[in-house]
């Protein structure tokens, strides 16, 4: 374990702005956090956990301790005739994990291709795109309680997932460092191509047979057409929420703008893509 001082944050967030943290530590093993908790800096400094740094903007130096979650590894922990369970280190790159699943024929997250960030951030934000949310294949996660140093297992119900919401953004905010996430992937795909421009993009790309790779590449194409590469132009990706309105309100909106898209939700609600409103 190496606790560094005056750490440049430029390469640790997607905006790539110049900023410095008073202290920084790359956590590559869970015991690094427990060792850090014995140091005086643990109680004396403000703390910030960073994964891929795609949801943060540093406008000034951070006068505290930044924990860079670099816990890696993908383990196959169980399987049956229909599913496979993978335990993924929280510091793994999310898109790289999606591509790993596609190469191995594991379905369920192909629509979540090219979302920036790490696996540990996925349940925290309950990431989603093109009609799919990570909670649909989420099984459980492990996290270290930064108040006690103990490891806790969180079930799906305990994570309290909502639309881009979870327990870790509210009651559990700032208390837990997620170390690993277990996902239950499908061995047989159930393609979701009716959301957004996926179907049209597949047609434009002359795709006649649906595969995990084809859907993923269509999603990547769409995302790249809408957002610049953060390696070239710093940005935070798509961080807005799509508004959900009543069916009555949507009918009135569509009467005025016939081409506005909408997707039915429970309780007679309709989700309207914010990108469609912008366009």
For 88-143, the three-class secondary structure string (H helix, E strand, C coil) is EECCCEHHHHHHHHHHHCCECCHHHCCCCCECCHHHHHCCEECCEEHHHCEEEEEE
* Res. 2 pLDDT band, cuts 50 70 90: confident
CA angle centred on 84, ends 83 and 88, rounded to 5°: 140
Task: Determine the CATH number of domain 4-69.
Answer: 3.30.43.10
Class of domain 71-232: alpha beta
Does pTM top 0.85 for this prediction?
yes
Tell me the CA distances in angstroms from 234 to 55, 56, 67, 68, 227, one per residue in order.
12, 11, 22, 19, 10
Q: Which residue has the higher pLDDT, 94 or 277?
A: 94
| Tens of pLDDT, residues 193-207 | 988 789 999 999 999
Average pLDDT, the chain: 93
Tell me the CA distances in angstroms from 89 to 14, 119, 131, 134, one per residue in order.
21, 7, 25, 15
Coil, strand or helix at 222: helix
Let me know: does 109 contact 101? Beta carbons within 8 Å.
yes
Q: CB neighbours of 215 closer than 8 A, spacing ≥ 6?
A: 110, 111, 191, 193, 198, 202
* Res. 43 pLDDT band, cuts 50 70 90: confident
% of residues, the chain, pLDDT over 70: 98
Mean pLDDT of 30-45: 90
Break the chain into its structural domains and give their ranges.
Answer: 4-69, 71-232, 244-278
Mean pLDDT of 94-106: 98
* Res. 279 pLDDT band, cuts 50 70 90: low
Give the count of beta carbons closer than 10 Å to the beta carbon of residue 265. Answer: 13
Given a cut of 70, whether residue 278 has pLDDT beyond it is: no
Coil, strand or helix at 207: coil
Residue 276's pLDDT is 65
Helix axis angle for 212-226 and 94-104, nearest 10°, is 150
| Tens of pLDDT, residues 64-87 | 999 999 999 999 999 999 999 999
* Res. 277 pLDDT band, cuts 50 70 90: low
Mean pLDDT of 29-57: 91
């Amino acid at each position: 374990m190496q606790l560094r001082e005056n750490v440049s944050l430029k390469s640790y967030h997607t905006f790539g702005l110049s900023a410095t943290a008073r202290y920084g530590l790359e956590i590559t093993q869970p015991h690094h956090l427990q060792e850090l908790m014995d140091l005086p800096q643990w109680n004396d400094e403000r703390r910030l956990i960073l994964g891929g740094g795609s949801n943060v903007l540093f406008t000034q130096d951070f006068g505290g301790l930044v924990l860079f979650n670099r816990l890696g590894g993908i383990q196959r922990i169980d399987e049956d005739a229909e599913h496979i369970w993978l335990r993924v280190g929280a510091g793994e790159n999310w898109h790289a994990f999606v591509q790993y699943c596609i190469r191995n024929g594991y379905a369920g997250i192909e629509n979540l291709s090219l979302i920036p960030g790490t696996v540990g951030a996925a349940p925290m934000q309950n990431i989603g795109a093109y009609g799919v949310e990570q909670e649909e294949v989420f099984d459980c996660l492990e996290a270290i309680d930064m108040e006690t140093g103990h490891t806790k297992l969180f079930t799906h119900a305990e994570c309290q997932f909502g639309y881009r919401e979870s327990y870790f953004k509210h009651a559990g905010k700032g208390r837990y460092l997620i170390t690993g996430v277990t996902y239950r992937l499908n061995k047989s795909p159930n393609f979701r191509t009716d959301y957004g421009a996926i179907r049209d993009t597949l047609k434009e790309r002359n795709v006649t047979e649906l595969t995990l790779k084809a859907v993923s590449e269509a999603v990547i194409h769409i995302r790249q057409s809408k957002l610049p590469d953060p390696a070239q132009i710093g940005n935070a990706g798509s961080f807005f929420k799509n508004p959900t309105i009543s069916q009555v309100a949507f009918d009135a909106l569509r009467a005025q703008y016939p081409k506005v898209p909408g997707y039915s939700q429970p309780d007679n609600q309709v989700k309207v893509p914010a990108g469609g409103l912008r366009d």
